[in-house]
């Protein structure tokens, strides 16, 4: 169930006779071709494995986010060509005043289709459009996991669920809004320009949550996110848009998990929103989907290259995921606290928090939850010259840490 009625983009996905039967066995089956799924697939490129990635839409066809990310993640992953606009300040609006935070790192908006296509260019997997229905009936105990799709049953010993919050390949646990720990988000994309990356913490728009305007060169991505899944965000998305002098169009929305879930279950690996990897409070889930997607891809690569078993990969990936649990728990605590702060206290508090030392400290720690260094610089190298935007430093020529170092660094962070 979508949170609000949304206008649908034109589908490029194959229909009718073009949807030929699809079945058989693969080395790796990745379900979901958005941030998390593509990040896993890219880590497997060159491994020699037969990797199939399936999605109900064509790659990049259906955007479900404002597409904002710390710039360094784009740079390190060789994705700067998809960048639309870059910001070094964040404007915080409350009913009693506005504060401008000078960020210690820059944040960018990007084009979803272009970014997905760039990620896909780095993969050597096969892609098919297919709707995943769930787990198929298991075979003869040979370690193959069967996945049922609208085009047939596909099996693989390594299966990834990167399908988003529904976590289709897990045992049904009744995890449904409005009772599950899910936020809801809705946004519109009117044309227009602005220099300000802006947030509204204002109960007139949402009792617990925030509104945003993320400019992306020639459009504004304006939306409302509610931590309370029972609060309907459509009316106030329209209100905020009109308050900014724009008319709402192109509605897009989704549920956003704000709690970690198990990293593996029944032999399947979960990543991105399906594992609850979206950060509470900020609802930032793209960089974490890429980050955990890379971590998972590296473990799966170890399996297909014969360096470890699936069980080893399950243990390693689950423990990597678990080391982040306390950070997600803290973010959730703050998410629950903010709506309780009286509005009159909020404005001076937000202004106090705009002090450079506090902003540097808090935003640096926030970035370290999924640090860009984890990506290394293998993708940035070679294309750095034309990718460096104004004031952007070039990536290192080589990865100075190596895989183990990156794992260690991420765990320490």
Ligand X SMILES: Cc1cc2nc3c(=O)[nH]c(=O)nc-3n(C[C@H](O)[C@H](O)[C@H](O)COP(=O)(O)OP(=O)(O)OC[C@H]3O[C@@H](n4cnc5c(N)ncnc54)[C@H](O)[C@@H]3O)c2cc1C
Chain residues binding ligand X by CB under 6 A are 32-37, 55-57, 62, 64-69, 131-132, 162-164, 168, 185-187, 223, 253-254, 256, 272-273, 278, 283-287, 289
72 vs 284, which CB is nearer to ligand X? 284
Q: Residue 186 and residue 98: Cα distance in Å, rounded? A: 23
- Least Å distance, CB 147 to ligand X, is 10
292 vs 384, which CB is nearer to ligand X? 292
- Least Å distance, CB 367 to ligand X, is 12
Angle, helix 112-121 to helix 35-43, in steps of 10 degrees: 20
In angstroms, the Cα distances linking 163 to 149, 272, 293, 336 are 13, 8, 12, 27
Q: Residue 339 and residue 317: Cα distance in Å, rounded? A: 34
- Least Å distance, CB 307 to ligand X, is 26
51 vs 66, which CB is nearer to ligand X? 66
30: left (phi over 0), alpha (psi -120 to 50) or beta: beta
In angstroms, the Cα distances linking 154 to 123, 169, 172 are 20, 13, 20
- Least Å distance, CB 311 to ligand X, is 24
Judge whether 268 and 289 are in contact, CB under 8 Å: no
- Least Å distance, CB 111 to ligand X, is 13
- Least Å distance, CB 129 to ligand X, is 8
94 vs 274, which CB is nearer to ligand X? 274
Judge whether 85 and 217 are in contact, CB under 8 Å: yes
Q: Residue 317 and residue 175: Cα distance in Å, rounded? A: 23
Which of 316, 286, 352 lies closest to 68, judged by CA? 286
Rg of the chain (C-alpha set): 21
168 vs 263, which CB is nearer to ligand X? 168
Q: Buried b vs exposed e over 339-364: b needs ≥16 C-beta within 10 Å?
A: eeeeeeebbebbbeebeeeebeeebe
Q: Residue 184 and residue 173: Cα distance in Å, rounded? A: 20
- Least Å distance, CB 68 to ligand X, is 3
270 vs 384, which CB is nearer to ligand X? 270
Judge whether 68 and 303 are in contact, CB under 8 Å: no
Sign of CA dihedral 354, 355, 358, 360: positive
168 vs 199, which CB is nearer to ligand X? 168
- Least Å distance, CB 157 to ligand X, is 20
214 vs 384, which CB is nearer to ligand X? 214
271 vs 346, which CB is nearer to ligand X? 271
- Least Å distance, CB 328 to ligand X, is 13
Q: Residue 3 and residue 226: Cα distance in Å, rounded? A: 11
Take residue 171 and report the two structure tokens written for it: 């045992």
């Amino acid at each position: 169930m979508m949170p609000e009625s949304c206008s649908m983009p034109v589908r490029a996905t194959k229909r009718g006779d073009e949807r030929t039967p699809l079945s058989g066995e693969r080395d790796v089956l990745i379900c979901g071709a958005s941030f998390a799924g593509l990040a896993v697939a890219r880590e497997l490129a060159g491994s020699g494995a037969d990797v199939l990635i399936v999605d109900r839409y064509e790659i990049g066809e259906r955007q479900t986010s404002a597409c904002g990310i710390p710039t360094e993640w784009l740079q390190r992953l060789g994705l700067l060509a998809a960048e639309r606009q870059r910001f070094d300040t964040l404007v915080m609006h409350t009913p009693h005043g506005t504060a401008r935070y000078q960020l210690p790192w820059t944040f960018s908006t990007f084009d979803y289709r272009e970014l997905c296509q760039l990620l896909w260019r780095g993969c050597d997997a096969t892609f098919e459009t297919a709707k995943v229905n769930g787990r198929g009936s298991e075979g003869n105990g040979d370690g193959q996991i069967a996945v049922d799709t609208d085009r047939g049953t596909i099996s693989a010993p390594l299966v990834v669920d990167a399908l988003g919050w529904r976590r289709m390949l897990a045992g049904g646990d009744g995890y449904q809004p409005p009772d599950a720990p899910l936020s809801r988000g809705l946004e519109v994309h009117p044309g227009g320009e602005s220099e300000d990356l802006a947030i509204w913490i204002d109960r007139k728009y949402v009792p617990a949550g925030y509104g945003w305007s993320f400019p992306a060169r020639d459009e504004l991505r304006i939306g409302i996110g509610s931590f309370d899944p029972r609060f309907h965000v459509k009316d106030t998305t329209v209100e905020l848009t009109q308050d900014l002098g724009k008319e709402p169009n192109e509605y897009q929305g989704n549920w956003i998990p704000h709690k970690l879930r198990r990293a593996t279950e029944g032999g399947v690996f979960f990543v991105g929103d399906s594992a609850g990897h979206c950060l509470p409070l900020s609802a930032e889930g793209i960089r974490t989907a890429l980050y955990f997607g890379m971590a998972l891809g590296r473990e799966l690569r170890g399996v297909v290259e014969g360096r470890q078993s699936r069980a080893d990969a399950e243990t390693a990936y689950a423990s990597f995921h678990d080391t982040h649990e306390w950070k997600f728990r803290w973010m959730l605590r703050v998410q629950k606290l903010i709506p309780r702060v009286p509005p009159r206290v909020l404005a001076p508090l937000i202004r106090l928090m705009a002090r450079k030392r506090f902003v540097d400290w808090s935003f640096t720690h926030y970035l370290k939850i999924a640090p860009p260094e984890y990506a290394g610089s293998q993708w940035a190298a070679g294309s750095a010259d034309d990718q460096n935007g104004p004031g952007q430093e070039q990536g290192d020529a080589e990865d100075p840490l190596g895989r183990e170092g990156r794992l260690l660094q991420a765990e320490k962070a």
